[in-house]
Amino acid sequence: MRIGAALGVLAGALAVAGTPTAEAHPAPLRLTVDSAAATGDRVNRGLVGVNWDGERPQAVRPLRPGLARVDAQIERLFPDGPELDRDALARLNSSLDAILRAGAEPLVILSYMPPWLADAQPGDPRDRTKLPPRDPQLWGDLVGRVVSELSAGRAARGQRPARRFEVWNEPDWPVFFQDSPQRFLEDVFVPSAAAVAAVEREHRIDLLFGGCACVAPDPLMIVPMVTLARQRGLPLDFVSWHWYANTPFLGPDGREPLGTPEFQQLVDVVFPFWGRRNPVATPASYGDQVGLVREWVRGALAGSGRPMPELVIDEWNLSAGGFDRRMDIHEGAAYDGGVLAEMQKAGLDRSAVFRAVDPAYFADPKVNPSGEEHRGGWGLVTITGRRKPAWWTFWLWRRLAPLVVRSQLESARSDGVWALASRGARRRRLTVLVASFLAEGAHPHELALELSGLPPGRWRIRIRRIDAGHPSARRADRRARRIRRGERLDLELELPAQALVAVELRR
């Protein structure tokens, strides 16, 4: 088990992120935006994605998420042998239908191992669903049947097919794969990739396959995986990983119930950092990671002629395990805004926040005897469907105009401020999003916003906020201003600590 290696990667990623510190900033921060200077980039709508839990598709439908990541639960599809459980398949298809009704593209995780297929001897204490197969070819056959049912099978029934598949979940993390990385690559990754390729050839249907859904940007897993795909001619259409900014600390506001006592003990051994907040947690880590992974993948593919796969962070949030009440309030919303801006700047292709809805066990009296609705879950909405401030961050991202324009924020990383500006193709819209987040020592800012390059005319201005006094961005402060040719528009804005401000202009 590569516990030391995994934690080493996490520590390295934290070091790359830098160390934001709280400092006094008496002077206003200055943000200049030139609406006439398009950068050539488009606002990436694909950064709005979710991990799917099967509940309340109507809660995320207004966000029009690009991806919705869902587990195939192969161990439930084949519970007793190679015969497919049709009831389990019907439940999975029902989840795919709900995802498609929400306007998202399903990303199906090809995990976990049916216990009867696991390579384990009697008395082996490991979780059999997290082990490699004793027969890799049979595992590939099962994967191929699942992929065929969800893609070509759905298409044959007149349903929209699933086309995007991901091998396993966090195979570099001993909680989710309890054997060596070599066994994962040879006995899980290779037959899974070959099975997807075979379905694609047989049914002449375009499919996308990727991984490794690593627990962190892990070169010890990503580089060998890309190299193996290159050497053996296997598909690898996207490279995926996960990141939670509070890593390596878990559960600052409580402990997540993690199943059996044995499973809980395993987590405690490999991840003993409960009840703390990471003082250097920052959205900047996401941008740094995208650059690192891109270089690793490019190096592994050098000279092969293969195209660059998509880069996808398909699990992210503030805290990976345990409860974190910041995810219920404006603080988590501000963090999410900074992350989206970092991902956009770094050129990430897609992302999926963890998760759409708080876990269903929040309603279990044994877990939550108080019945409290807000307990620091990961969801964008609560178990009753109530929208959290983070939901409104993704709503604001969806409202951004499509074309990124040049902006310059005169700010240091220690300020904890991120900004993105965009306009419409006909220059009748301009949108500016500014997020402020610091894990420790957060403080307010005065923001001097200078807008140039606006066509002359009367402009309607709306300012939306998410902060301690504004849990929703629905209401806007409305203003109006007539702009003469060549005139610059200056706005003085308050940017509270842990806040998000959106400025929307329409001519």
- Residue 12 makes CB contacts below 8 A (sequence gap 6+) with none
pLDDT at 58: 84
* 360 in the same domain as 410: no
pLDDT at 53: 81
pLDDT band at 265 (very low <50, low <70, confident <90, very high): confident
Is residue 125 one of the residues assigned to a domain?
A: yes
HEC per residue, 271-283: CCCECCCCCCCCC
Alpha helices in 61-180, H assignment, sequence order: 74-77, 86-101, 136-148, 154-156
pLDDT at 271: 67
> CA 285 to CA 364: how far, in whole Å?
35
pLDDT band at 163 (very low <50, low <70, confident <90, very high): very high
In which region does residue 453 sit, left (phi positive, over 0), alpha (psi from -120 to 50) or beta (all else)? left
Token reading at 211: 């991984």
Token reading at 137: 């070819």
pLDDT band at 1 (very low <50, low <70, confident <90, very high): very low
* 260 in the same domain as 121: yes
Quick count: other Cβ atoms within 10 Å of Cβ 153?
Answer: 18
Average pLDDT of the chain, as a whole number: 92
pLDDT at 250: 85
The amino acid present at 335, given as its one-letter code, is: Y
pLDDT at 9: 42
pLDDT tops 70 at residue 391: yes
Q: 85-126, pLDDT tens digit by residue? A: 999 999 999 999 999 999 999 999 999 999 999 999 999 999
Q: How many residues does the chain have?
A: 507
pLDDT tops 90 at residue 230: yes
* 100 in the same domain as 64: yes
Token reading at 485: 């040719």
Looking at per-residue pLDDT, the higher value among 111 and 6 belongs to 111
Question: Percent of the chain beyond pLDDT 90?
Answer: 81
Give the neighbor-by-neighbor strand order of the sheet with 403-410.
Answer: 477-483, 457-466, 499-506, 429-436, 417-423, 403-410, 29-42, 445-452, 489-495
Burial 198-214 (b: 16+ CB within 10 A, else e): bbbeebeeebbbbbbbb
Mean pLDDT of all residues in 255-276: 75
The amino acid present at 54, given as its one-letter code, is: G
In which region does residue 309 sit, left (phi positive, over 0), alpha (psi from -120 to 50) or beta (all else)? beta
* 320 in the same domain as 467: no
pLDDT band at 372 (very low <50, low <70, confident <90, very high): confident
* Residue where one domain finishes, among candidates 399, 429, 445: 399
* 371 in the same domain as 426: no
Closest Cα to residue 132, out of 92, 194, 191, 85? 191
* Residue where one domain finishes, among candidates 340, 364, 399: 399
Quick count: other Cβ atoms within 10 Å of Cβ 197?
Answer: 17
pLDDT at 20: 45
HEC per residue, 232-244: HCCCCCEEEEEEE
Cis peptide before 62 (omega within 30 of 0): no
Domain of residue 162 covers 3-20+44-399
* 491 in the same domain as 368: no
* 385 in the same domain as 358: yes
Mean pLDDT of all residues in 412-434: 94
Is 228 in contact with 185 (CB distance < 8 Å)?
A: yes
pLDDT at 59: 86
Mean pLDDT of all residues in 473-484: 96
Q: What is the pTM of this model?
A: 0.93
* 312 in the same domain as 249: yes
Sign, CA dihedral 320-326-329-331, equals negative
pLDDT tops 90 at residue 390: yes
Token reading at 236: 């690898």
> CA 365 to CA 114: how far, in whole Å?
31
* 273 in the same domain as 191: yes
pLDDT tops 50 at residue 444: yes
Q: 178-202, pLDDT tens digit by residue? A: 999 999 999 999 999 999 999 999 9
Q: C-alpha distances in angstroms, 329 versus 2, 326, 335, 372?
A: 35, 5, 10, 15
Is 500 in contact with 393 (CB distance < 8 Å)?
A: yes
Closest Cα to residue 388, out of 472, 271, 481, 281? 472
Q: 15-59, pLDDT tens digit by residue? A: 444 444 444 445 789 999 999 999 999 999 999 999 998 767 888
* 171 in the same domain as 54: yes
Which residue has tokens 């690559």? 185
pLDDT tops 70 at residue 398: yes
Overall domain count for the chain: 2
* 344 in the same domain as 420: no
Mean pLDDT of all residues in 160-169: 98
pLDDT tops 50 at residue 147: yes
pLDDT at 427: 95
Token reading at 341: 């801006």
pLDDT at 411: 83
- Residue 369 makes CB contacts below 8 A (sequence gap 6+) with none
Q: 50-79, pLDDT tens digit by residue? A: 999 876 788 889 999 999 999 999 999 999
β-pairing verdict for 50-51 and 67-71: parallel
pLDDT tops 90 at residue 418: yes
- Residue 57 makes CB contacts below 8 A (sequence gap 6+) with 98, 99, 101, 102
**3-class secondary-structure state, position 433:** strand
Least confident of 260-269, 299-308, 351-360: 260-269
Looking at per-residue pLDDT, the higher value among 67 and 274 belongs to 67
pLDDT at 379: 95
pLDDT at 262: 75
pLDDT at 71: 97
